[in-house]
C-alpha cells in the first residue's frame, strides 16, 4: 500500500504556507506563496507516495500552525515525522531543544556535535522542511548578525522579534 501524504495551504502574518502530513506526523511546513512548486516539491520528495490535497481534513492542523507562528509560546502538539539523514535529524533535534527567544551560531552547533566545520551544520539547517516548529530561524552568525533563511531573511527577523517579545514578558510565579 502506498504511503499517503496529505497537504493543505494556509495563511499567517508571515504569508502563505503549506503543511504536509504523513500518518506519523508533520513532514513539511513550507513558507511561501508558490502553490505549484511546493506541491511539485512534495511529489518529488515523496516519489512513492500518493500526494493528496486535503484542505478540509487538515483545518485543525492549519489553525495550530497559524497559532504557533503568531504566538511563539504556543505548543501545537503536532507530532513531527522528521525525515532526513541521521546527521540532519540530530541537528534539527538540537534546534528543537533550544528555548524560545534564544539563538545559537552555526559554529556553536558544530562544536556541540564535535566538529569545527560549520558547513555541514549549515547544509542540514538549509534542508529543514519544517519551518517554525524546527526553529532553524534561531541560528545566527557568530558575530550575532542574521544570516540567510530558506524562507527569507525578513521572515527570520519577524520570528526572532516575536520570540524576543515572548521571552521578555514577565512570567507568573504561581502559588509560592
Active site residues: 136
List, as one string, the DSSP characters of 103-170: -EEHHHHHHHTT-S--HHHHHHHHT--BTTTS-GGGEE-TTS-----TT-HHHHHHHHHHHHHHHHSP
User: Is 81 within 8 Å of 22 (Cβ atoms)?
Assistant: yes
Residue 22's nearest CA partner among 83, 87, 90, 106 is 83
Q: How far is CA 141 from CA 1, 5, 138, in A?
A: 45, 35, 10
Query: Which residues have CB under 8 Å from 122's CB, separation 6+?
Result: 106
Helix (H) or strand (E) holding 64: helix 59-70
Amino acid at each position: 500500500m502506498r504511503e499517503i501524504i496529505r497537504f493543505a495551504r494556509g495563511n499567517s502574518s508571515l504569508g502563505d504556507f503549506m503543511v504536509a502530513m504523513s500518518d506519523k506526523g508533520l513532514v513539511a511546513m513550507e513558507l511561501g506563496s508558490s502553490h505549484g512548486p511546493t506541491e511539485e516539491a512534495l511529489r518529488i520528495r515523496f516519489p512513492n507516495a500518493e500526494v493528496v490535497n486535503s484542505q478540509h481534513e487538515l483545518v485543525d492542523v492549519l489553525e495550530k500552525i497559524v497559532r504557533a507562528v503568531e504566538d511563539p509560546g504556543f505548543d501545537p502538539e503536532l507530532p513531527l515525522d522528521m525525515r532526513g539523514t541521521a546527521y540532519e535529524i540530530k541537528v534539527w533535534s538540537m534546534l528543537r531543544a533550544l528555548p524560545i527567544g534564544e539563538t545559537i551560531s552555526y559554529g556553536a552547533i558544530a562544536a556541540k556535535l564535535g566538529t569545527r566545520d560549520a558547513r555541514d551544520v549549515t547544509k542540514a539547517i538549509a534542508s529543514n522542511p519544517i519551518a517554525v516548529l524546527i526553529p532553524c530561524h534561531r541560528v545566527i552568525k557568530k558575530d550575532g548578525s542574521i544570516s540567510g533563511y530558506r524562507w527569507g531573511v525578513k521572515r527570520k527577523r519577524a520570528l526572532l522579534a516575536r520570540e524576543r517579545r515572548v521571552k521578555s514578558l514577565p512570567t507568573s510565579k504561581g502559588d509560592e
